[in-house]
A and B are shown apart, each in its own frame.
Chain A
Amino acid sequence: MKLGQHSLKIDGWLILFVIILLVCGALNQASATMGGLLFKKQMVWFGLGFLLMMAIALSDYQRLLSPRLIFGIYLFLLLVLLILDLKHTRWLRIAGVGIQPSEFAKLVLILVFSLVLHRRDQDHLDLRTFGILTLLAFPPIVLVAAGDLDQGGMLFLIYLSYVFLAGVPRRLLIGLAVIVLVAAVTLGPKVWMVLKPYQRARVAAFLNPEAFRLDRGYQILQALIAVGSGGLTGFGFKEGLSSRLNYLPEKHTDLAFAVWAEEWGFIGAATVILLFGALIYRLLRLAIEVREPLGRTILAGVAIMIFWEAFINLGGILHLLPVASVPLPFLSYGGSSVLVNLMAIGLALSISRKRYSFR
């Protein structure tokens, strides 16, 4: 690695991956929304998000992210979530534009967790730090989960990831694994009995979508048909049978990747998966390279957030996981998702500029 004049430059790979993903997302939205109003809105979000990303990338994150600001945002977020929960909505409406604070909660949690870990910099997670993390994590998780279980789960995954990232002692880790395993075997059937019928149906539909082809299995079955029928080269842009004929539900949001895989085939779908892999790998590499503790923790957090988002969404569509209503970064429609992910990348870019400084 060269030092010197390059050390202040932002990471070209990250920008490249994100731009390709944005192009894929734009193409996909053009097809999934038939180039309608939603497509135009998404393009506006892309533009806004890109500007925001570059602005954050060019700023000095260390000056920007003061603890006071982070906690201020955190408290503000809690307030907003509480108000929305009381109003039974997920959407915050500002000047006619809907924003999902639960999306922003992910980034806020990452910042808060990173700040905590930075402040209590230790090799391993001690009980006190664990307590602080948990205490900070649960209010937003509960508030989000009350309105949107899937997003709540996402926040919980991020929280868990941070716990592991902070370093759970190996003995504890093995013990936990054993306990979970034993509990799954012994209590599993009992939990199954306690589950509500609709929850059971959701699992059953995951295991055997054919049997539920008209209700719960419909979505996964149509997603599988869409993805599978893409074959090697796909149906071509705007030609997907499943998406064009509206067999795919939620085709511009949750199942956007199914549209992509159907129209661009294995070549296109594998490219997107590899791009996500490369993006996440690049973020983690940067986290390894960066020496500054707050920065590298944020980088790892951003990588983990994008990983969970991509894995939950893609795993659902590819029938590795039950389908959860989680947008795929850059490919799914949604202003909040676009903004949050691009802001996170912007932050990562800003951190990457300082990877060789030890300040």
Chain B
Amino acid sequence: MRYHQLFSPEEPDPFERRLRGTIIFIAGVFLLLFLKLFFLQIIKGEHYRELARRRSLKVFLLSAPRGNIYDRRGILLAGNSPSFALAVDPKIIRGPQGDEILKRLAEILGEEFPSLKQRYLLARRGTGTNQVILAFDLDRDTVAKIEARRYFLPGVDIIVEPTRYYPFGSELFHLVGYVSRINAEELKRLAPQGFTADDFLGRAGLEAQFDERLRGRKGRRLVEIDARGRIRRVVAEEAPVMGESLVLTVDVFWQRLAHRLLEGQAGAIVVMDPRDGRLLSLVSHPGVDPMYFVKGFPPKEWEKIRKDEKHPLLNKAFSAYPPGSTFKVVTAMAALEKRVVTPATTFFCKGYYRLGRRIFRCWRSWGHGEVNLVKALEVSCDVYFYRVGEEVGIDYLSRMARACGLGRPTGLGFPGEKAGLVPDRAWKMRVFHEPWQKGETLNVAIGQGALKVTPLQLAKLLSAVVNGGTLYRPWCVVQLLDPYGEVVDEFRPQKDGKLPVKPRTLYYVKKGLVAAVNGKEGTGRAARMEDITVGGKTGTAQVVGMKKRIHSKKLPYLKRDHAWFMAFAPAEKPEIVIVVFVEHGGHGGSAAAPIAGKFLKAYFKGEHPS
């Protein structure tokens, strides 16, 4: 039995010799088996373990509910509701067996098999992930049918996902914004960050600005998949964490009111508290029902919105337009600060102003007669402001405009907010390669020319004028709440600097604004109230230059003037500032001021606007 005995030469028996040969042969074969086993399990073990894992373990991402958005009273502006989506696994649904399953699905969904298959193939090409969503928003009947036939539909899954839900539809569209499904390009870019094809992204408004905070953290579920594609066991699960919720300064009541006041028109209303810059409402009309973005547009509806000349998708509260006479507030401050005029200085308006060989007309062709600063603001006399504008000069005027917060975004932080434009010599040179003309200064002084401001900027400016000179950054989010309702983050008013003007200047400007609403010849009388003093300034911005003034109503819609009105109340201790902008609305005094008036009446007296 010793080793040497195995090969002992004194054994003559040939059978025994052959048996020894057999032992060596078999030992060799077993060594081979042993080495191969070692190779497979020890050397390549990790490789095969990885293959096994990839084959039989699958990670499902569990989408996290998005944080809610509440108005300042806690009314839900954006929330989630469950919806059922049909997902299939492209690893299992393929080949003739896959067709079999798709045929069964088509029958349940009441769809033709070829169209379903085509949709599936397209969707599969798009995602490249382990799940292809075939249908969204299944009704409960369909869900029940699929669940009942689960056994015959391997690789088919119903996923319950929280879907964005906007109770107020288009009324808060421009403030809250909307979410929509990630598209193929974004998915390619964002996939490394854990995004999948069924994710939503915040696209506009607060949904976009606070997208990361609202989104929450996805959960993950590790499951074992058996050879037939069915989930056998949940190995591990990490629950999704709901996103943070927003509490706004905005009051949905005023928001809806403002929205209703713009019914049938295009425009924007910004309502701000001048004491700290918080927004009470921010409306751009018309809006779009954000549910269309969540669930997908019917082509007809999309076509309608795309072709609408009122541009429902554009947030007009952030878009820049010529401010018209509302800018005279800035010109007035510049004139007083540069001591070009005193409040007592008067000029005679004869209906036009001559600069060299050019004639600059006042809006009232027969003139206003003798006007001082307060009177000029009351009647919105162009000639007075041509005159002071010429003397102030574009350099000082543009500096004042910028100091008032024009020409740059207000700092609200919404995506897509426009900066507006404050023209000056450098800008002219840069853009037109021409020196500044004196006549342009006159146009800027009455808010025309290249000058552009947004309604939000005007609200910020007027707030500063009436609160003693402090520029507050507009803001609309007070708190961020975690899913348990605990406050995570709190926002406070932020000062954006002070107007470079003396209180005396503000006093006279305010006086002029009060006169513009309450004076006998005031342009903004439509916003007057009995027992509360309102101050304000109208504006009518020409959209196209014309030799003669023609009444806007006679012009085609797109050539009509923009109507502006900005107001504050009560004049003694202002607590609300409202800026009304009506695109192509015509005259500020007749188109915009009444809207502001109705809003203020409702705000202070609870009057229902008829």
Contact = CB atoms under 8 A, between A and B. Distances in A.
Contacts of B33: 273, 311, 314-315, 318, 320
A352 interface: no
A340 to B, nearest CB: 20
A266 interface: yes
A151 B189 CA distance: 58
Interface string A267-301: 00110011011001100110110000000110010
Contacts of A307: 26, 29
A227 interface: yes
B366 interface: no
B344 interface: no
Q: Chain A binding site: helix, strand, loop or mixed by DSSP?
A: helix
Interface in B42-65: 42, 44-49, 51-53, 55-57
A208 interface: no
B36 interface: yes
Nearest to B20: A288
A266 B227 contact: no
A314 B36 CA distance: 10
Interface in A304-343: 304, 307, 311, 314-315, 318-320
- Scoring A124, A288, A319 by chain B CB atoms within 10 A of each residue's CB, the highest score goes to A288
Interface string B7-21: 000000011101110
B34 interface: yes
A232 B43 CA distance: 10
Interface string A239-277: 001101111000000000000010001100110011011
A304 to B, nearest CB: 7
Given A261-B41, A277-B30, A285-B1, A300 B227 contact: no
A276 B56 contact: no
Interface residues of A, number: 49
A243 to B, nearest CB: 10
B18 A231 contact: no
Contacts of A304: 22
A228 B227 contact: no
A224 interface: yes
Given A231-B41, A266-B42, A242 B23 contact: no
Interface in A157-188: 164-165, 167
A226 interface: yes
- Scoring B14, B36, B38, B57 by chain A CB atoms within 10 A of each residue's CB, the highest score goes to B36
Nearest to B42: A266
A29 interface: no
B390 to A, nearest CB: 85
A165 B22 contact: yes
A225 B42 CA distance: 13
B224 interface: yes
A230 interface: yes
Contact of A241 (B30, B38, B224, B228): B224
Interface string B458-492: 00000000000000000000000000000000000
Contacts of B26: 277, 280-281, 284, 303, 307
Interface string B498-537: 0000000000000000000000000000000000000000
Given A261-B37, A273-B37, A232 B23 contact: no
Contacts of A28: none
A265 B20 CA distance: 32
Contacts of B602: none
B27 interface: yes
A320 B36 contact: yes
B147 interface: no
B42 to A, nearest CB: 6
Contacts of A273: 30, 33-34, 37
A227 to B, nearest CB: 5
A225 B48 contact: yes
Interface in B542-557: none
Nearest to B94: A214
Nearest to A311: B29
Nearest to A291: B13
B57 to A, nearest CB: 8
B232 interface: yes
A231 B52 contact: no
Contact of A167 (B15, B44, B226): B15
A276 B30 contact: yes
A33 interface: no
Given A241-B52, A273-B33, A227 B22 contact: no
A287 B22 CA distance: 11
A164 B14 CA distance: 12
B38 A266 contact: yes
B232 A245 contact: yes
A261 B44 CA distance: 14
B226 A246 contact: yes
Nearest to B49: A229
B14 A167 contact: yes
B191 interface: no
Given A245-B227, A246-B227, A311-B29, A228 B41 contact: yes
B45 A284 contact: no
Contact of B55 (A167, A225, A227): A225
B122 interface: no
- Scoring A123, A228, A247, A261 by chain B CB atoms within 10 A of each residue's CB, the highest score goes to A228
Contacts of A246: 226-228
B225 interface: yes
Interface in A84-127: 123-124
A300 B32 CA distance: 21
B40 interface: yes
Given A270-B34, A273-B33, A277-B30, A228 B23 contact: no
26 contacts: A165-B18, A225-B52, A228-B44, A229-B48, A229-B52, A232-B45, A241-B53, A246-B227, A261-B41, A266-B41, A273-B33, A276-B30, A281-B26, A284-B23, A285-B1, A287-B19, A288-B16, A296-B19, A300-B19, A303-B22, A311-B29, A318-B33, A318-B36, A319-B40, A320-B33, A320-B36
Interface of B: 1, 14-16, 18-20, 22-23, 26-27, 29-30, 32-34, 36-38, 40-42, 44-49, 51-53, 55-57, 95, 224-228, 232
For the complex of A and B, 6 pairs with smallest distance between CB atoms: A228-B48, A229-B52, A231-B45, A245-B226, A266-B41, A229-B49
Interface of A: 1, 123-124, 164-165, 167, 214, 224-232, 241-242, 244-247, 261, 265-266, 269-270, 273-274, 276-277, 280-281, 284-285, 287-288, 296-297, 300, 303-304, 307, 311, 314-315, 318-320
Given A229-B49, A230-B41, A247-B227, 19 more contacts: A165-B19, A225-B52, A228-B44, A229-B45, A229-B48, A241-B52, A241-B57, A241-B224, A245-B224, A245-B226, A261-B37, A266-B45, A273-B33, A277-B26, A284-B26, A296-B15, A303-B26, A319-B40, A320-B32
